[in-house]
Amino acid sequence: MDSILVKGGTPLHGKIQIAGAKNAALALMPATLLSEEPLTLTNAPRLSDIATMTALLQSLGVEVTSMQGGKVQVLSSHDMTSTTADYEIVRKMRASNLVLGPLLARHHRAIVSLPGGCAIGARPMDIHVTALEAMGAEIELKDGYLHATAKGGLRGARVPLRFASVGATENVLMAATLAKGTTIIENAAREPEIVDLAHCLRRMGAQIEGEGTSTITIQGVDRLGAATHPVVTDRIELGTYMLAPVFAGGEVECLGGRLDLVRSFVEKLDAAGVDVTETADGLKVKRRDDRARAVDITTEVFPGFPTDLQAQMMAMLCTATGTSVLEEKIFENRFMHAPELVRMGANIEVHGGTATVTGVDRLKGARVMATDLRASVSLILAGMAAEGETLVSRVYHLDRGYEHVEEKLSALGAQIERVSGS
Ligand code: EPZ
């Protein structure tokens, strides 16, 4: 397994290109199952999660052609061979469950393995199941698989979500495009990835209104056609790299960055003493003083502070002046980066879903272990600010969601390299 070696203390300068959003692409790719016409995605990110989704769709008979080094994906589900999403693939990536809605909508049946828990929580699928049953699906759990059928196809319905689940909103949104009649999703997730999916489905011929608000209305149509769609900028990669100059000092411009994608995050950066300036090409970021200031964070559904930036923010606050309180409200176990940061000299106390971080002058390099995707990158960022060397192991987590981190950060002047096999 690869590790990443980081030496701290070098301020960063330059520009970094933000890629297309992993969490948008992982919902856009299954949308091909809704139509027998080709779906072309541009600005696609090159990540191992995308390769996993490609393998899953190919196992169903979808033809996936990657071009321009993976930045363009052409998908065609004209010749489907299966409607079963196998455990071996689904257990590696929860987003595999996003084939459930499209398969039910167009093929009226699906067998999808439950993803099982992951490091950050149990992550059940009850909201997905309840919603699709409201649309006429019959779903039974057998041997760890959801066996779903929709005799005569799905029908439009009022679908209130008990929690604004991103994945459940995406599954229902896709399923409703081909259901008979009108579907109204209430308490829908409002994330930019939902908006991006709705834009793509509309290009395919879907009739959708209200994406980005808590109520989305979909008028079912008989069939969907071909489309070409650019994947929206990755707001989590954006937020992650915006923090890089806050850790290491210097000034960085994130190309493709859009303020509307990270407004709640930027409000917290401003309170922490960080300047964010909109440029013609993106967002420029610079710390005002030698150290950031403590801020309190509570993760919420969009447009609140994103849970996927909580680990990165906690790492930054380890050397801020003062004490910060972070509340993780979305996942039940998303503080696994805290003990790793404590190994680097951070002062963090975790009680349930609340972490209290008291800033120290400087972290010290150490051997640390990545536990999940976003925790892994927060340890690398911490290493850039620490005294001495930090070796982050298990970086396969990192490659799931960040394109060539060491190359992008080296280009800004960071002393970082990948150490294979240790
Ligand atoms: C998406 O996961 C993202 N993944 C996650 O990003 C992100 O953290 C999450 O949304 C929240 O923003 C993708 O888009 C591929 P949820 P998803 O359904 O859809 C509970 C990353 O790092 N829940 O909004 O799985 C669930 O357990 C990943 O890129 C139920 O209880 O998130 C969790 O506590 C990590 N029952 C909360 O809701 C359900 O049926 C949020 O889950 C569904 C969810």
**Dihedral sign, Cα of residue 219, residue 223, residue 229, residue 235:** positive
Instruction: Considering only the C-alpha atoms of the chain, give the largest distance between any 2 of them, rounded to a whole number of Å.
Output: 65
Same domain? For 238 and 226 the reply is no
Q: Report how many domains make up the chain.
A: 2
Return the H-helix or E-strand segment holding 215: strand 215-219
Residue 49: its pLDDT value, please?
Answer: 94
Task: Identify the domain boundary among 181, 196, 230.
Answer: 230
Same domain? For 201 and 254 the reply is no
Same domain? For 200 and 238 the reply is no
Residue 294: its pLDDT value, please?
Answer: 98
Could you identify the atom of ligand 1 that is nearest to the CA of residue 189?
Answer: 24
Same domain? For 277 and 379 the reply is yes
**Percent of the chain as helix, strand, coil, to the nearest 5:** 35, 30, 35
Task: Identify the domain boundary among 230, 263, 280.
Answer: 230
Residue 116: its pLDDT value, please?
Answer: 73
* Residue 117: CATH number of its domain: 3.65.10.10
Determine whether the shortest distance from the Cβ of 373 to ligand 1 is under 6 A.
Answer: yes
Same domain? For 375 and 252 the reply is yes
Residue 270: its pLDDT value, please?
Answer: 98
Task: Identify the domain boundary among 230, 265, 289.
Answer: 230
Residue 121: its pLDDT value, please?
Answer: 78
118 included as an active-site residue: yes
Determine whether the shortest distance from the Cβ of 235 to ligand 1 is under 6 A.
Answer: no
Nearest CA to ligand 1 atom 39: 125
Residue 420: its pLDDT value, please?
Answer: 85
Tell me how far the alpha carbon of residue 307 lies from the centroid of ligand 1, in angstroms: 9
Same domain? For 289 and 375 the reply is yes
Same domain? For 393 and 338 the reply is yes
Residue 91: its pLDDT value, please?
Answer: 87
Residues of the chain predicted below pLDDT 50: none
Residue 235: its pLDDT value, please?
Answer: 98
Tell me how far the alpha carbon of residue 86 lies from the centroid of ligand 1, in angstroms: 20
The amino acid at residue 74 is V
Closest CA to 170 of 270, 246, 259, 98: 98
Determine whether the shortest distance from the Cβ of 374 to ligand 1 is under 6 A.
Answer: yes
Structural domain of residue 136, as residue ranges? 22-230
Same domain? For 64 and 212 the reply is yes
Same domain? For 352 and 369 the reply is yes
Residue 421: its pLDDT value, please?
Answer: 76
Same domain? For 258 and 217 the reply is no
Same domain? For 11 and 63 the reply is no
In angstroms, the CA 376 to CA 399 distance is 10
This prediction has a pTM of 0.97
Residue 282: its pLDDT value, please?
Answer: 98
DSSP for residue 308: G
Same domain? For 59 and 129 the reply is yes
Starting from the edge strand earliest in sequence, which strands make up the sheet with 297-298, in order?
Answer: 297-298, 323-327, 354-358, 347-351
Could you identify the atom of ligand 1 that is nearest to the CA of residue 94?
Answer: 25
Determine whether the shortest distance from the Cβ of 95 to ligand 1 is under 6 A.
Answer: yes
Could you identify the atom of ligand 1 that is nearest to the CA of residue 93?
Answer: 15
